[in-house]
Amino acid sequence: MKDKIIKELLEKETIRQNEGIELIASENYPSIDVMEAQGSIFTAKYAEGYPGKRYYGGCEVVDQVESLAIERAKELFHAKFANVQPHSGSQANFAAYHALLNKGDKVLSLVLNDGGHLTHGSPVSFSSHDYQFSFYPLGEDGHIDLDLLKELLDKENPNLLLAGYSAYPYAIPFKKIKEILDAHNEKASTHCFFMVDMAHIAGIIASGLCENPVDYADIVTSTTHKTLRGPRGGLILTNDEAIAKKVNSAIFPYSQGGPLEHVIAAKAVAFGEALHPAFKEYMRKVLENTKACNDELAALGAKVSGTDNHLFLLDVLSSYGINGKEAQARLGEIGITVNKNMIHGDTLSPALTSGIRIGFAALTSRGASLEDAKEVARIIHEALKTPNPNIEKLKERTAKIAASLKDVTSLQYPSIGE
């Protein structure tokens, strides 16, 4: 690369990621094939529209690329229709709302502090400006309270029920939620659609290790870069042809211009990798590593959420007497990257939080073992339990784990496209 400044920054970031332990639940490491596709000649092609219906010439090849991505996404999630053009998960949610709702319609979503996303009704998001949001809280045990959800559906009579979360460590009972919603719709004056944002658990769903919301929801949105281990981008799925047509219009021309065909090519590669049997084994290891770290922290006396998926929440305020911001900074100092996070019943502000969110999708991609996961828990505990931990010693322990793992820039995963 001729741009020496950017080249140096790329090298610094590569070193940071290789020498550190990445535990942010929304991050993962794509394969070199995914990165090659994203940095390919498709970057130079404009292709407004959809395969076979473009506003530009010269789209014969990108039509094949996007069609392949669509077909692989449909196969992966057992969906009849897929739109692979959203630039992000937020863009996918924007289009999904527009496809199903009118401005001012009511949406029932999870209380944001209990694990929702900004686009699920936050005051700083477009979502709360375009639609009326009401919220359902988690139960006292931190799980979805289906009885309370049923009550609030009848009380609020929303146009859309939203499930799928960014910091919920348990299995989501999509089938039961659908049954409750069906019963509500039989007597409600307004039909309520069911939308699922599966951004965080898409890889778990793709591997068949939890319920598939595509079987139950009217529309499902996702990112492609978290547990799916692809490029940064969005995805929309549905089994309803009429909704699919509205989704396509909501993406282009309503909210986006030319699709990022280089990213779509990378999505196709990632979907091909996720369709390979090896991906299911990867996801099994992610779940095992996440649980091992959670359980080791619990054994050490920390207050953790427990987990059914790729993440769990650590209550650092109750466990160590510090806030999430403080814990994030202290762990960052020893080479462990996490993010502060609100927890159920949090008494602190979003800027501080009482907890941190810990995920093992990225570290497992680098080959982390169960013992690595347990050692990570022990390092976290040592770093947070005293005001003045031995930083240098903890750095050494972190570096030892990182050095035993695979290089982040040369990861290769099996694919059905081979």
Which residues are tagged catalytic? Answer: 46, 48, 197, 223, 226, 232
Tokens of 114: 């209990």
- Beta-carbon count within 10 A of 391 CB: 12
Instruction: Tell me if 383 sits within 8 A of 393, measured CB to CB.
Output: no
Give residue for tokens 């920054």: 9
Taking the C-alpha atoms of residue 202 and residue 161, their distance in angstroms, rounded to an integer, is 19
3-class SS letters over the chain = CCCHHHHHHHHHHHHHHHHCEECCCCCCCCCHHHHHHHCCHHHHCCCCEECCEECCCCCHHHHHHHHHHHHHHHHHHCCCEEECCCCCHHHHHHHHHHHHCCCCCEEEEECHHHCCCHHHCCCCCHHHHHCEEEEECECCCCCECHHHHHHHHHHHCCCEEEECCCCCCCCCCHHHHHHHHHHHHHHCCCCCEEEEECCCCHHHHHCCCCCCHHHCCCEEEEECCCCCCCCCCEEEEECCHHHHHHHHHHHHHHHCCCCCHHHHHHHHHHHHHHCCHHHHHHHHHHHHHHHHHHHHHHHCCCEECCCCCCEEEEEHHHHHCCCHHHHHHHHHHCCEECEEECCCCCCCCCCCCCEEEEECHHHHHCCCCHHHHHHHHHHHHHHHHCCCCCHHHHHHHHHHHHHCCCCCCCCCCCCCCC
